[in-house]
Structure 1
Amino acid sequence: MPKPPVRSGFVTPAGGVKCTRKLVDILNNREIAIALWLLAISIYIFSSSKMAEVRNAFKGVMAALFVRQIMSVLCLMVAYMVIVIYWLSDLGLWNFEQLKNTVFWCVSVGFISLFKLEKIKKDKHFFKHSVMDNLKLLAILQFVVGVYTFTLWVEVLLVPVLALLGAMLAIAETDRKHHQVKVFLEYCLSSFGAVLIVYTLCMLITNFGEFGKEKTAYDFFVPPLLTLCYLPFVFFMLVYSTYEQVFVRLRFSIQSRFHRYAAKLYAFILFNVRLSLLERWSFQVAKANIESHSDLIDTFKYIFKVRYSEKNPKEVPKEQGWSPYKAKEFLVNEGLSTGFYNKSFEEEWLASSPMEEFSDGIIPDNIAYYVEGSEDVAKVLKLKVNVNDASRTHQACEKLEAMAEALSISSLNLPLSKGMKSAISGCNSYSEKVEDKTITLVVEHWPNHKFNGFALKLLISSI
């Protein structure tokens, strides 16, 4: 009687080959081509003596990545996604063939999102856009085009060419002097995109069976489904990181340990997941002198008082100025959104937008919008343009004129006068009265500046 085969804990060569073939079958030709190029580049970097500095830099990056705090978050994210995948698999919405898509999704969406929490925090519509972007026509088109690939040798040749074109386009976009090169590169990439679409249409007609597989349906809905399931984790990390930053700032703002613990407890109860109020309160605490429990309570009262004022702005007589909570929204449609209107000094209040860059170059020009006044009345509306290179003066003046026109219409219901437009175009200081307001253009040249830079300030005031 023959002996039964002995089972071993080790994978046999045949089993290893079978597993490798299964993994290769999961990848399409384009992904195999990218993997081959990455492998070749990695071998060169880690074997060439000329790449010693690159290897040292890579070690530094890996050392920074594998710190306890980052690894804890990444492990938590992996554990969460394992639970999600198990749940989806149990529902029949995930299978082993989606391993590739899941790994790509984790690297391109999951990991990257954790390093963009500060940017996500500023984007009020992030969670809505995360879902809607996966349903847009462009996303569907990109998916359909990605179903069919060229033969492997064609993909191997295309990968470095397209990577080079993309890198050159990124460099050309940094300087207006390379505009013609930029146009040519965009034409090349657009032409390739058109060829890819035509090729896909032909393959859909002649080989629809490849597209009509069950796997294709999984490939389409699994990444958006992973994104949808991942959003609660992103929100949790957003709340956790914000509270952590605020509590660290409290160490320097509140000396008393008792008051610090009380502040944390009250903040969690009163603000919970309203992160904008939490951060606004933390900055108020930094400006206050917390010496007693009543001082601490006053900081919370202040936040809810200004919050109520924002929700219910008072009417301000025209001759006095503007409602600050309306004035801070004057240029929202132009891309200049201010932060909160807060007390800056004893009786002075201020709201300001971030510096918005609008030109090319290593040090781009930028523009910002300010609202200044008292607690209930905005008395000065200010636009400031920093021109970091005098060779871009014309572009900067055009930007200021467009923003000033929008501000004048929003605040005065009047367009800019010809005299003010002429002053802006010529970069000449100028002032004029418009009804009960004053519009002033101030030009401030920066002495000894390498590129002869200067600042342009346009003020509309009721003072």
Structure 2
Amino acid sequence: MSQPAPPFPIPDQSQIGLEAFGFDLNNREIATLIYIALTILALLLWPKIRGSLGRLVKAAFHPKLTAINLVMSLYVTLCTALLALVGAWEWSNLKTTLLWWITAGFGAVFSASQIKEPKQAIRRQLRDVLTWTAVITFVAEVHSLPLIWELGLLPCIVLVSLMLGMAQVGKEHAILVGPLTWVLSFIGFGFLAFSVGGIIQDPIDFLAWHQLREFAGPLLLSLMFIPFIVGLAAVMIYETQFTSLSFRVQDEALLRYARCRALLVFGLDTDGAQRLTRAIRMMDSPDRAAVDAEIATIKRLKRVEADPPDVDPAAGWSPYRAGRFLESYGLATQDYHRSFNDWWSEAPSVKLTDRAFADRVSYYVSGTEHAATRLRLVVEASYQNDTEAADEAFRVRAQSLLAAVQATSATLPSHLLEDGQECTVVSRLNITVSKTIWGVERLGGYQRSLVVLHPAHVMTLSD
């Protein structure tokens, strides 16, 4: 009886060698390894850097990082085995697989810690994998230049790339972005043209099944890696949220219960878990019953958000629709939730320019559980910036907000932007525009705010 083929078919014993595992390095790979070795040697010979490298290596082998890397490696091994079962992987593809594991695999694990919403990982991975760049890069690396050329060009590419990165950050060097980009494009086109010339001379080698596996293997691994990155991003978000919560709640048993309940109820919906930890922080004496009640409230509010009900105009505005009144300016509010005695939501502040200390604009919606009754637009401006631009930005957004609430379609009167406070009533809506100065004139700034109160609004301490 014939034995089934193993997931990883062993190469012919008589032909085992570096080439059997894909380690027939081309000149570009040799040049890269030479420079990596020289860089490591230089760092080890530099006393000040050597100590930092030791701490870096120690941090890299932290128990939690080691556990993540081990699980990731096992997952990649499983994916490789599945590819081998369908004939999409062989031992001759080992070098390419290890290179993907070291670069793309560990890079994706690192990027998972930067993901705020696991669904972002799916879009990011698909965007990075399904591009023409992967095809062009693969074709350009089929054939490499002579070793002396590779050794000379590699440091030039690194230097130009660093200069381009610095030029993109500093506006004073923006004029160099175009020329440096053209230099990199010219070098890349040269690599591509040389490789294409080699392919034309020997098309049989390029069209071999081994080359197809070399191209498709990393792409398939990247696609198969998406579920792992999504799960890892969710686990990291849960860990961050509940670890920060431990400073407020000392009951470890309750925290474990809340984490398990959140995982079971919300799963990859980390927004629900974040809302839960926020609510627990505001509880005077949280317990399991309070956690269960808050989870039920969050689930109910998510259903309401998905299909917002109509709100009686006499009671106020729909808090979910009011939160999108200034969406065109990037000021869409987050979830509408209870905050002590009020219900409110806020939009993350938006910078008016690209400067490091740029003026910012914010938007807030508050009221009762079922209706928003107070809208507030705020611009924080500095005298060191363009105050006229900040005032104009405030004017434009204020007009849009007033038009959205159907208070008036006319332009905002200019006198309302002068110093002091102005209050008026339009269609029974109480509209207040104010300016508050802070600091000294040269180093300080001011805050302009527009507050729209619905007739149904009840004054609270937060007002």
RMSD: 4.0
2:36 to 18, 38, 51: 38
Q: 1:205 to 1:353 in 2, by over 3 A?
A: farther
Indicate the larger mover: 217-226 or 98-107.
Answer: 98-107
Q: Relative to 1, partners in 2 of residues 1:204 and 1:286: Cα closer, same or farther, differing over 3 Å?
A: same
Deviation digits for residues 134-156 of structure 1 (CA, Å, limit 9, x no counterpart)? 22334333433343433322222
1:219 counterpart residue number: 214
Alpha-carbon offset, residue 57 of structure 1? 2.2
Counterpart of 1:290 in structure 2: which amino acid? S
In the alignment, which residue of structure 1 is the partner of 2:140?
145
User: How many Å apart are 1:362 and its aligned residue?
Assistant: 4.8
Q: In structure 1, what is the equivalent of residue 11 of structure 2?
A: none
How far is the alpha carbon of 1:185 from its aligned partner?
2.3
Q: CA deviation at 1:161?
A: 1.7
1:295 aligns with 2:272: no
| Between 287-296 and 193-202, the greater mean CA deviation after superposition | 193-202
Q: Which moved more, 1:127-136 or 1:168-177?
A: 127-136
Aligned to 2:175: 180
Distance in 2 separating the partners of 1:24 and 1:181:
39
Question: Which residue of 219, 233, 248 maps to 1:238?
Answer: 233
Report the Cα offset of residue 319 of structure 1. Answer: 6.6
Structure 1, unaligned stretches of length 5 or more? Answer: 1-14
CA contact (8 A) 1:351 1:370 kept: yes
Tell me: CA distance 1:362–1:247, structure 2 relative to 1, closer, same or farther (3 Å): closer
Q: How big is each residue's C-alpha offset from its partner over 1:321-368, in whole Å with a ceiling of 9 and x where there is no partner?
A: 43111233345565444332122231x222223344564455455544
Instruction: Decide which structure has greater helix share.
Output: 1
The alpha-carbon distance between structure 1 residues 190 and 299, as it changes in their structure 2 partners (threshold 3 A), is same
SS in 1 for 2:308: coil
Deviations 1:297-341 (A, max 9, x none): 432332233223323323234576431112333455654443321
Counterpart of 2:6 in structure 1 is none
Does 252-261 or 218-227 show the bigger shift? Answer: 252-261
TM-score for the superposition, normalised by structure 2: 0.78
Q: Deviations over 1:168-210 (max 9, x none)?
A: 2222222322221233323333444455555555555555445
Q: Equivalent residue of 2:225, what SS? A: helix
1:90-127 alpha-carbon deviations (Å, 9 max, x no partner): 33211233233322322333222323334323253421
The residue correspondences of 1:197-346 to structure 2 (distance < 5 A) are 198-199=193-194, 202-203=197-198, 205-248=200-243, 251-254=246-249, 259-260=254-255, 262-290=257-285, 294-318=289-313, 321-332=316-327, 334-346=329-341
**Contact 1:33 1:155 (8 Å CA) reproduced:** yes
CA separation of 1:275/1:150 partners in 2, compared to 1, >3 Å: closer, same or farther? same
SS in 2 for 1:84: helix
Residue 119 of structure 1 corresponds to which residue in structure 2?
114
Residue pairs, 1:159-174, within 5 angstroms: 159-174=154-169
Structure 2: stretches of 5+ with no match in the other structure: 1-14, 456-463
Aligned with 1:277: secondary structure?
A: helix
Query: Whole-Å Cα distance in 1 between the matches of residues 343 and 374 of structure 2?
Result: 11
Task: Judge which range, 282-291 or 146-155, deviates more.
Answer: 146-155
| Residue number in structure 2 paired with 1:370 | 364
Q: CA deviation at 1:267?
A: 3.5
Which one of the candidate residues 125, 145, 155 is aligned to 2:150? 155
Deviations 1:272-306 (A, max 9, x none): 44322122112111212336554344323322332
Verify: 1:447 aligned to 2:432, yes or no: no
Assess, with a 3 A threshold, how the Cα gap between structure 1 residues 149 and 434 changes in structure 2: closer, same or farther. farther
2:383–2:441 Cα contact (<8 Å) kept: no
Equivalent residue for 1:19? 18
Corresponding residue SS for 2:364: strand
Counterpart of 2:98 in structure 1 is 103
> What is the distance in 1 between the residues matched to 2:401 and 2:141?
46
Partner of residue 5, structure 1:
none
Shift of 1:217: 1.3
Asked if 1 retains the 8 angstrom alpha-carbon contact of 2:21 and 2:95, the reply is: no
Question: Relative to structure 1, is the Cα distance of residues 200 and 20 closer, same or farther in structure 2, using a 3 angstrom cutoff?
Answer: closer
Distance 1:293 1:99, change over 3 A: closer
Q: Is the deviation greater in 85-94 or in 123-132? A: 123-132
Q: Which residue of 1 aligns with 2:344?
A: 350
1:4 maps to none
Aligned to 1:351, the other structure's residue is in SS state strand
> Which shows bigger deviation, 28-37 or 398-407?
398-407
Instruction: Please give the per-residue CA displacement for 1:425-454, whole angstroms capped at 9, x wherever unaligned.
Output: x99998887766577665555415986555
Q: How far apart, CA to CA, are the structure 2 residues paired with 1:153 and 1:55?
A: 30
Residue 164 of structure 1 deviates from its aligned partner by 1.5
What is the alpha-carbon distance in structure 2 between the residues aligned to residue 439 and residue 30 of structure 1? Answer: 67
Cα deviation 1:57-100 (Å, max 9, x = unaligned): 22222222211111111112112222222232233211233233
State how far apart, in whole Å, the 1-side matches of 2:152 and 2:421 are: 58
Q: 1:123 to 1:73 in 2, by over 3 A?
A: closer
- Out of 375, 384, 389, which is 1:390 matched to? 384
Taking structure 1 as reference, are residues 429 and 323 closer, same or farther at Cα in structure 2, changes over 3 Å only?
A: same
Stretch moving more, 269-278 or 192-201: 192-201
Q: Which amino acid aligns with 1:34?
A: T
Paired residue secondary structure (1:354): strand
Match of 1:28 in 2: 26
**Contact 1:388/1:454 (8 A) holds in 2:** yes
The residue identity in structure 2 corresponding to 1:375 is E
CA distance, structure 1, for counterparts of residue 448 and residue 198 of structure 2: 57
State which of 64, 67, 74 in structure 1 corresponds to 2:69. 74
Conserved in 2, the CA contact under 8 Å of 1:352 and 1:371? yes
